[in-house]
Structure 1
Amino acid sequence: MSDNISAFDSKEYDMQIRRTLPYYDELYQQVIELVKACNHNTLKWLDVGCGTGKMAEVVFKNMEVEKFTFCDCSSKMLAVAKERFPYSNTDFILCDIQEISYSNEYDVITAIQVNHYLQKEERKKAVQSCYQSLKENGIFISFENFAPFSDFGKKIYLNKWKEYQMKQGKTSLESNNHINRYNRDYFPITITEHLELFHNCGFRAAEILWVSNMQVGIWGIK
């Protein structure tokens, strides 16, 4: 059993996620390019569902950060991140994304593969908490699995995803086990629903950053 909400134990997460998620590293590069395009200078950054700290790794290599806050509901994941980044400008909080209670604190908030584990009302509460925690003109960037618009599309995308995992060395059984988590362990919504959610939570603009296979990046400006 995993020691966090994802499919993988914290000790093997970084290795396993690349065998599972196409273009995993590209997601993070897209975040960096977007934040740079928004002309932010020194940043206060909150990464929700930080896992082992992949977002921080990319940020510290590419940007100047006044403060970077790691947030995760798994103490095991947070412990790994804390060991990796013992810097003076970092802090670590153990809580669920729905429980974040900052107000006008951060320039950037990221949630990479986090909110698709939530049900509809939980997801709305999570996005609202991120909106509340942003400064005016702050950016919220979320990458999630999304639901195709049709059953046919869903079948094709899931087959394609299975083939990717098998090419990365997973067995057919391992690949099927992960595919079968769809609508059982995580609950994707359509891209249209993603954009509507951002608008309904108060963001004055919501846009698509990146789409590939069954993953989408959405960003909003407060």
Structure 2
Amino acid sequence: MDIKALFDSAAQDYDRTRRQYIPCFDDFYSTALELIPHNSQAHIKILDIGAGTGLLSGLVAAAFPQASITLSDISSQMLSKAQERFGSNRNIDYLVLDFINAPIVGNYDVVISALALHHTPQDQLKRVFQKIFGALQSGGYFINADQTLGTTPENEEKYAQAWLNGAKAKGCTDRDIEVAIERMKADKTATLQDQLNWLSEVGFVQVDCWYKNYRFAVYSGQRPA
């Protein structure tokens, strides 16, 4: 499946269903924000990988108004929607980036991502983590809010049912559910333990999972100082 085409087509309607598609939205995103280990007025450089329409970066920009944030995404249409969100904010830059196949260049204090890396084939995700590691300054942090695969087929079924129940409870229509399931065909999700192991193997320290609700998890690692 062509990920770029998938998200180009989804860009116009993407934000409307975010809170519905992520039943644990508030805890999920607030945990990611809390993990940024800097003063709210710090002049830090942040890279958002797979930034989409800028939802996570918008929350970060509000919490860290002096931060310089680069939003990267494979979809130029998603980044166009992000530009509408941020308007003339001079602290925001945009970068069309295929993080799976292209280098991740930079020297950032923090790299963040939300619901993007699970589109990476499992056999390539460790290499993506290595590229993120290389784009961080010494002592920098990587924070990922993403999906995880159930440890067994039975557990994965429980994840799926919990998501379906939660999405419907939040007001998703049958059509919304159909659209989400179609997008999920592009998912390449790995288990949480595999993801944490790969972070450690490429050199991250202080690796931990700080929040988990069925398939939704927030974890982080630090590049050694």
How far is the alpha carbon of 1:154 from its aligned partner? 1.5
Q: TM-score scaled by structure 2? A: 0.86
- Aligned twin of 2:12: 11
The offset of 1:180, in angstroms, is: 6.7
Deviation at 1:28, TM superposition (A): 2.4
CA distance in 2, matches of 1:14, 1:28: 14
CA distance in 1, matches of 2:33, 2:149: 25
Mark the CA change 1:13 to 1:35 in structure 2 (over 3 Å): closer, same or farther.
Answer: same
The answer as to whether partners of 1:69 and 1:90 remain within 8 angstroms in 2 is: yes
Q: Which runs of 5+ in 1 are unaligned?
A: none
Give the direction of change, closer, same or farther, for the CA distance of 1:7–1:144 in structure 2 (3 Å limit). farther
Q: TM-score, normalized by length of structure 1?
A: 0.87
1:31-42 superposed matches below 5 A: 31-36=32-37, 41-42=42-43
Report the equivalent of 1:193: 194
Whole-Å separation in 1 of the counterparts to 2:134 and 2:120: 19
Give the secondary-structure state (helix, strand or coil) at the position aligned to 1:96. coil
- Match for residue 170 of structure 1? 172
From 150, 153, 160, the equivalent of 2:152 is: 150
Q: Given residue 101 of structure 1, which amino acid in structure 2 is its aligned partner? A: I
Aligned to 2:114: 112
Percent identity (aligned): 23
1:101 corresponds to 2:97: no
Relative to structure 1, the CA distance from residue 88 to residue 158 in structure 2 (aligned partners, 3 Å threshold; closer, same or farther) is same
Task: Give yes or no for the alignment of 1:124 onto 2:126.
Answer: yes
| Gap regions ≥5 residues in structure 2 | none
Task: Tell me the secondary structure at the aligned position of residue 12 of structure 2.
Answer: coil
Query: Alpha-carbon deviation of 1:171?
Result: 4.0
Q: Work out the CA distance in 2 between the residues paired with 1:73 and 1:47.
A: 12
> Residue 136 of structure 1 aligns with which residue?
138
Please give the alpha-carbon distance, in whole angstroms, between the structure 2 residues aligned to 1:83 and 1:198. 34
What does the per-residue CA deviation read over 1:21-65, in whole Å, with 9 as the maximum and x for residues that have no partner? 1122432221221114x6683210000111111122112211143
Contact preservation (8 Å) 2:143, 2:219: yes
Map Cα deviations across residues 174-198 of structure 1 (whole Å, 9 max, x no partner): 536634765x320211111011110
Q: Quote the residue 2:206 is aligned against.
A: 205
**2:47/2:108 contact within 8 Å kept:** yes
Do the aligned residues in 1 keep the contact of 2:28 with 2:216 (CA within 8 Å)?
A: no
* Aligned partner letter, 2:19: R
Looking at structure 2, the residues matched to 39 and 29 of structure 1 have their Cα atoms a distance apart, in angstroms, of: 16
Match of 2:91 among 89, 92, 104: 89
Per the alignment, in what secondary structure is the counterpart of residue 77 of structure 2? helix
Segment of structure 1 superposing worse, 173-182 or 205-214: 173-182
Letter in 1 for 2:48: D
Alignment of 1:16-27 (within 5 A): 16-27=17-28
1:167 Cα deviation from its structure 2 partner: 2.0
Q: 1:90 to 1:173 in 2, by over 3 A?
A: closer
Q: In the TM superposition, what is the alpha-carbon distance from 1:115 to its structure 2 partner?
A: 1.0
